[in-house]
């Protein structure tokens, strides 16, 4: 190298940081929010009672957010939350502290109790300020209030919203309006401050408390929404009586507490269709699905038949009025088909191809389940005139099964979304990835689900019983139909796995068995599609560690390639799914297995404050010792709340056949859930009490004189 020469600089490679991934919106989380609901209105807040302008917090009415912010401040500061608890149906109580007020001591001397009560079309709050201080307390109480009228589908998809301007108001009053919706907030003795740039509207109260004094402030909100498609029913639930409604006493106090909370939640989820307030049904769940859902509303009503038939008949009539009459690929409608979902307008999630019309029929199972609900309500003693009035709709539903449920003619009920904008999967596991092979591959439609064949088989047999009992033609045809379906099913669905034989989850487009072990096969129990030996094979697999190693029944075995404990349908645990299988096991005589799964739900109920969510994680029990929340699960949710009634019913084992004048008594053998007594059950409209003692002996009282109790071996 020459003197004075410089070596060339080494080449420098500049590594650019990777481009950020395209932003996508996330569905807001629910698991840590407190809900108070009286359908069609719901309040969702933090555990401190504050409703903040974020995520899914807000006061919702019939799929629209009425208030997006309700924030309490004392002298410009938020109080410090210390606890909350449910406060009856539609209510919640929150407790907080204002430690900067009162005596200068380590102990707080000023407490705030916020008692919230949601009613159909509104909400009220009492703000109780209690001082134990030795000196007077002076403060200004402020409520910051905003309204954005966001549709529920925008909130669900994490979309952006803009606060609406205050449209007017009077003394102590603020009003917002959008289209036909009007929201009015009024505070008793409050001073109202309309919203200004960058600030919410406000209600303000100056407060002075004497030493050890207290005061109560009151405010309420009313929502006027003439365009809503659902309203509150005209009458209270039939199980709400002067005697207080159904009550149970159980050795296991968890069951008692779960039952009581579930009844409160079921009362609060009752809805009616606008224009038909006499026919009640259950909205599916808070907040995403608080409307009419064919499958969900049917299953919930079916699970609640031990409390009476009125809800079942209302649900049947509402769905019958919207039964399909034409072929429409866009909505999935077909003659005789029962609908899936009802909204005020098209339901379209931002960033998703899903676009469901306001009345959507994309469900393969609601129609046979509608038939089974009509049959079961008849057996429980629904008025014969009401049952007879629905028989033309039964025949139309059978027409759908015969002409439209099997588009390729292979003899199985199947589905495919031909619109490209509807639900890709149309059974109860309706997420896009729900139907998977053992190795994790997704099945391609058309898909024939295993449980739907069971539903169709049972519906055909039950429809035959109804047609025959009411002197209408066709019973023989449908008994032959069910027998042929059973033969085809036995030839095509059963597969072998490492733990033995079991029915496949489905048949795919190429008629291959989708060989994953899932909870779906538990829905076959009690349908009659399986022989006794086949039921025993299924029962053994359902309580294997891979299926029952969590707190209930996993939707998919932990040994499957697609398993994930926090997948919506591929490894999580759904309370209603577990309860349906508990009922099937109980009826088939597998009491120990039924009790094992029920015990998992009772532990989960304790974890979730006895308000079972829509679903929760399917992790092993040893992972945390309690179930993991699924963060976007609805809570309360109709068929999850109904699970408590199903557990009680399975333990007691009352199986009425009112037209035949008898009720079979078949409790879980040996009372594996402990002693249990229930009052306020209903058979043929009569209030009935039933009990199982610690030895498993059952007794029943209050039956009409013409209905005789029988045990499996004959009359007691």
Assess if residue 280 is contained within a domain.
Answer: yes
Give the C-alpha distances (Å, rounded to integers) separating 712 from 192, 654, 708. Answer: 69, 11, 13
Round to whole Å and give the CA distance between 299 and 642: 9
Mean pLDDT of all residues in 329-342: 97
Q: Are 691 and 678 in contact (CB under 8 A)?
A: yes
Q: What is the CA radius of gyration of the chain?
A: 28
Q: Quote the pLDDT of residue 244.
A: 67
Residue-wise pLDDT for 205-224, tens only, equals 999 999 999 999 999 999 99
Do 175 and 88 fall into the same domain? yes
Q: What are phi and psi of 134, to 5 degrees?
A: -85, -5
DSSP one-letter code for 570: T
Q: Quote the pLDDT of residue 198.
A: 59
Of the chain, the end-to-end C-alpha distance in Å amounts to 113
Residue-wise pLDDT for 553-587, tens only, equals 999 999 999 999 999 999 999 999 999 999 999 99
Q: Quote the pLDDT of residue 267.
A: 95
pLDDT, mean over the chain: 93
Q: What percent of the chain has pLDDT over 70?
A: 95
Please report, for the domain that includes residue 567, its CATH number: 1.50.10.10
Using CA atoms of 232, 235, 236, 237 in order, give the dihedral in degrees to the nearest 10: -100
Give the pairing type, strands 137-146 and 69-74.
antiparallel
Q: Quote the pLDDT of residue 352.
A: 76
Q: Quote the pLDDT of residue 17.
A: 52
| Residue with tokens 């939350």, as numbered in its chain | 81
Q: Are 177 and 114 in contact (CB under 8 A)?
A: no
Do 569 and 593 fall into the same domain? yes
Residue-wise pLDDT for 701-711, tens only, equals 999 999 999 98
Round to whole Å and give the CA distance between 677 and 687: 14
Give the dihedral sign, CA 365/371/374/378: negative
Assess if residue 712 is contained within a domain.
Answer: no
Round to whole Å and give the CA distance between 505 and 447: 10
Burial pattern 195-213, b for ≥16 Cβ within 10 A else e, equals beeeebbbbebebebeeee
Do 549 and 661 fall into the same domain? yes
From the list 261, 264, 221, the residue with the least C-alpha distance to 43 is 221
Do 322 and 209 fall into the same domain? no
Assess if residue 504 is contained within a domain.
Answer: yes
Q: Are 138 and 233 in contact (CB under 8 A)?
A: no
Do 127 and 251 fall into the same domain? no
* Segment (H or E) for 148: none
Give the pairing type, strands 708-711 and 662-665.
parallel
Assess if residue 489 is contained within a domain.
Answer: yes
Round to whole Å and give the CA distance between 255 and 20: 50
Round to whole Å and give the CA distance between 280 and 300: 12
Do 198 and 270 fall into the same domain? no
Do 350 and 208 fall into the same domain? no
Residue-wise pLDDT for 108-133, tens only, equals 999 999 999 999 999 999 999 999 99
Round to whole Å and give the CA distance between 160 and 430: 26
* Segment (H or E) for 396: helix 391-403
What are the residues whose beta carbons fall under 8 Å from the beta carbon of 464, sequence distance 6 or more?
474, 475, 476, 478, 479, 482
Q: Are 73 and 154 in contact (CB under 8 A)?
A: no
Pick the last residue of a domain from 186, 207, 228: 228
Q: Quote the pLDDT of residue 245.
A: 83
Q: Starting from the edge strand earliest in sequence, which strands make up the sheet with 676-683, in order? A: 247-250, 676-683, 686-692, 698-701
- Write out the residue range of the structural domain in which residue 506 sits: 231-692
Pick the last residue of a domain from 202, 228, 254: 228
Round to whole Å and give the CA distance between 370 and 376: 10
Give the C-alpha distances (Å, rounded to integers) separating 26 from 348, 397, 416, 433, 605. Answer: 15, 39, 28, 18, 28
Q: What are phi and psi of 254, to 5 degrees?
A: -60, -40
Q: What are phi and psi of 358, to 5 degrees?
A: -55, -40
- The beta strand positions in 401-523, using DSSP E, are 448-449, 494-497, 500-503, 506-507, 513-514
DSSP reduced 3-state for 280: strand
What are the residues whose beta carbons fall under 8 Å from the beta carbon of 275, sequence distance 6 or more?
none
pTM for the model stands at: 0.94
Round to whole Å and give the CA distance between 313 and 634: 25
Per-residue pLDDT band at 353 (split at 50, 70, 90) = confident
Q: What are phi and psi of 119, to 5 degrees?
A: -130, 160
Do 180 and 267 fall into the same domain? no
Pick the last residue of a domain from 176, 207, 228: 228
From the list 586, 585, 554, the residue with the least C-alpha distance to 567 is 554
Per-residue pLDDT band at 168 (split at 50, 70, 90) = confident
Assess if residue 286 is contained within a domain.
Answer: yes
CB atoms within 10 A of CB 173: 15
With 80 as the cut, is the pLDDT of residue 6 above it? no
Maximal C-alpha separation, the chain: 121
Assess if residue 705 is contained within a domain.
Answer: no
Structurally, the chain folds into a number of domains equal to 2
Do 178 and 239 fall into the same domain? no
Round to whole Å and give the CA distance between 339 and 333: 7
Assess if residue 453 is contained within a domain.
Answer: yes
What are the residues whose beta carbons fall under 8 Å from the beta carbon of 645, sequence distance 6 or more?
259, 262, 303, 304, 306, 307
Do 264 and 222 fall into the same domain? no
Residue-wise pLDDT for 18-54, tens only, equals 544 445 678 899 999 999 999 999 999 999 999 999 9
Q: Quote the pLDDT of residue 237.
A: 85
DSSP reduced 3-state for 615: strand
CA atoms within 13 A on the CB side of 482: 23
Per-residue pLDDT band at 169 (split at 50, 70, 90) = confident
Residue-wise pLDDT for 469-514, tens only, equals 999 999 999 999 999 999 999 999 999 978 889 999 999 999 999 9
What are the residues whose beta carbons fall under 8 Å from the beta carbon of 390, sequence distance 6 or more?
316, 317, 320, 374
Do 365 and 350 fall into the same domain? yes
From the list 432, 456, 452, the residue with the least C-alpha distance to 442 is 432
Assess if residue 105 is contained within a domain.
Answer: yes
Please report, for the domain that includes residue 58, its CATH number: 2.70.98.40
Do 310 and 167 fall into the same domain? no
């Amino acid at each position: 190298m020459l003197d004075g020469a410089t070596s060339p600089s080494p080449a420098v490679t500049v590594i650019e940081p990777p481009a950020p991934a395209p932003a996508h919106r996330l569905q807001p989380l629910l698991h840590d929010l407190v809900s108070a609901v009286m359908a069609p209105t719901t309040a969702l807040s933090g555990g401190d009672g504050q409703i903040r302008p974020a995520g899914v917090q807000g006061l919702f009415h019939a799929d629209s957010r009425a208030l997006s912010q309700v924030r309490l401040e004392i002298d410009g500061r938020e109080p410090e939350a210390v606890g909350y608890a449910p406060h009856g149906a539609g209510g919640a109580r929150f407790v907080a502290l204002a430690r900067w007020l009162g005596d200068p001591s380590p102990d707080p001397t000023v407490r705030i109790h916020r008692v919230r009560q949601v009613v159909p079309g509104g909400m009220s709050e009492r703000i109780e300020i209690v001082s134990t201080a030795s000196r007077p307390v002076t403060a200004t109480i402020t409520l910051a209030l905003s309204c954005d009228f966001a549709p529920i589908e925008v909130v669900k998809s994490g979309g952006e919203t803009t606060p609406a301007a205050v449209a007017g108001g009077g003394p102590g009053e603020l009003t917002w309006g959008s289209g036909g919706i009007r929201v009015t907030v009024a505070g008793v003795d409050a001073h109202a401050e309309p919203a200004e740039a960058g600030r919410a509207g406000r209600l303000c109260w100056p407060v002075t408390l004497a030493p050890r004094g207290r005061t109560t402030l009151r405010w309420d909100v009313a929502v006027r929404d003439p365009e809503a498609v659902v309203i509150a029913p005209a009458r209270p639930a039939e199980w709400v009586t002067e005697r207080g409604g159904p009550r149970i006493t159980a050795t296991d106090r968890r069951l008692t507490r779960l039952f009581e909370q579930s009844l409160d939640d079921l009362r609060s989820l009752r809805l009616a269709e606008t224009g038909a307030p006499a026919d009640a049904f259950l909205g599916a769940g808070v907040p995403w699905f608080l409307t009419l859902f064919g499958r969900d509303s049917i299953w919930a009503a079916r699970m609640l038949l031990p409390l009476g038939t009125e809800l079942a008949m209302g649900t049947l009539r509402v769905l019958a009025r919207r039964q399909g009459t034409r072929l429409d690929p866009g909505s999935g409608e077909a003659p005789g088909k029962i609908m899936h979902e009802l909204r005020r307008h098209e339901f379209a999630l931002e960033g998703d191809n899903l676009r469901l019309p306001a009345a959507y029929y994309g469900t393969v199972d609601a129609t046979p389940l509608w038939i089974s609900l009509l049959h079961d309500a008849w057996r429980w003693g629904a008025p014969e005139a009401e049952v007879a009035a629905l028989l033309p709709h039964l025949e139309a539903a059978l027409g759908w099964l015969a002409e439209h449920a099997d588009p390729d003619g292979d003899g199985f009920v199947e589905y495919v979304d031909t619109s490209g904008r509807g639900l890709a999967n149309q059974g109860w596991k309706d997420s896009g990835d729900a139907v998977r092979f053992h190795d994790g591959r997704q099945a391609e439609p058309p898909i024939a689900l295993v449980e739907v064949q069971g539903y169709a088989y049972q519906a055909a047999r039950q429809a035959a019983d109804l047609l025959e009992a009411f002197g209408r033609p066709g019973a023989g045809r449908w008994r032959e139909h069910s027998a042929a379906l059973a033969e085809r099913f036995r030839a095509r669905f059963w597969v072998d796995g490492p733990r033995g034989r079991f029915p496949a989850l489905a048949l795919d487009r190429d008629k291959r068995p989708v060989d994953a072990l899932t909870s779906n096969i538990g829905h076959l129990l009690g349908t009659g599609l399986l022989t006794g030996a086949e039921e025993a094979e299924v029962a053994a697999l359902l309580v294997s560690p891979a299926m029952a190693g969590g707190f209930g029944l996993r939707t998919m075995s932990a040994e499957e390639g697609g398993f994930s404990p926090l997948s919506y349908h591929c490894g999580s645990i759904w309370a209603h799914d577990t309860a349906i299988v508990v009922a099937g096991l109980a009826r088939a005589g597998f009491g120990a297995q039924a009790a094992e799964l029920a015990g998992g739900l009772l532990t989960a109920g304790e974890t979730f404050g006895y308000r079972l969510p829509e679903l929760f994680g399917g992790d092993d029990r040893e992972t945390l010792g309690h179930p993991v929340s699924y963060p976007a699960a609805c809570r309360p949710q109709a068929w999850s709340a109904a699970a408590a009634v199903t557990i009680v019913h399975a333990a007691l084992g009352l199986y009425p056949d009112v037209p035949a004048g008898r009720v079979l008594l078949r409790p879980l053998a040996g009372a594996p859930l402990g002693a249990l007594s229930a009052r306020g059950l209903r058979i043929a409209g009569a209030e009935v009490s039933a009990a199982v003692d610690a030895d498993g002996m059952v007794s029943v009282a209050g039956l009409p004189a013409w209905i005789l109790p029988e045990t499996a071996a004959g009359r007691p």
